[in-house]
Amino acid sequence: MKALVTAVITTLAVCIPLTFTAAVYAGFSTGTAADSSPPLYTDFWGPEPEYGDCWEDPNSKRLPECGTRVPDEISVKLLFEFDRYVVPDTVVNRWVLATIDSYIDKVKRSPAQEYVTIVGHTDAKGSDAYNMALGMRRATAVRNYFIAQGYPESLLAPAKSRGKRDLLPQYSPFSVEQRRVVITKIDQ
């Protein structure tokens, strides 16, 4: 009997502090659940973010709004209909426009005055003169799209072309990967 009493007392001595600690940790120390935070292990927060991913704590005032950081540079591969250069009307791969739209949204919402440059690039096919003109048409089309989406023209540099001068070394000079528009921002 004495052994049973000792076992019950030992069990209570261990369980009561653990129960109290768990209750405090879960927010039940006052008899009600704490309203300020969701349960620790739920699907509320979604998957664990990877390094560099956007993660937003709705209760935090210390973190900037999720997704407002403007990348310093993006490169988009816009494929236009033959000899046509109007964004979005003559873009063949329209899904790429989502990248441009997202970028425009971010620079418009940025508290910094983001000055944006747009440079057109081509592959190595064709003459220098042809490729410089082609790169300029691509850059001008994207610049005009920025303006049509409400981005101030005063914050856009004149369109530029590098033609086939800045080829990407990891691809063939004649690869479609060389045909791109590079958008860069500079904080003012």
The verdict on residue 118 lying in a domain is yes
The verdict on residue 9 lying in a domain is no
Does residue 88 have a cis bond before it (omega within 30 degrees)?
yes
Query: pLDDT digits over 28-69, tens only?
Result: 444 444 444 444 444 434 444 444 445 444 444 444 455 557
Query: pLDDT digits over 128-187, tens only?
Result: 999 999 999 999 999 999 999 999 999 999 999 999 999 999 999 998 888 899 999 986
CATH, residue 181:
3.30.1330.60
The pTM of this model reads: 0.63
Residue-range definition of the domain harbouring residue 103 = 73-187
The verdict on residue 91 lying in a domain is yes
What does the DSSP assignment read for 60-96? -SSSPPTT-PPPSEEEE---BSTT---TTTTBS-GGG
Q: Looking at the 3D structure of the chain, how many domains does it have?
A: 1
The verdict on residue 95 lying in a domain is yes
The verdict on residue 20 lying in a domain is no
The verdict on residue 52 lying in a domain is no
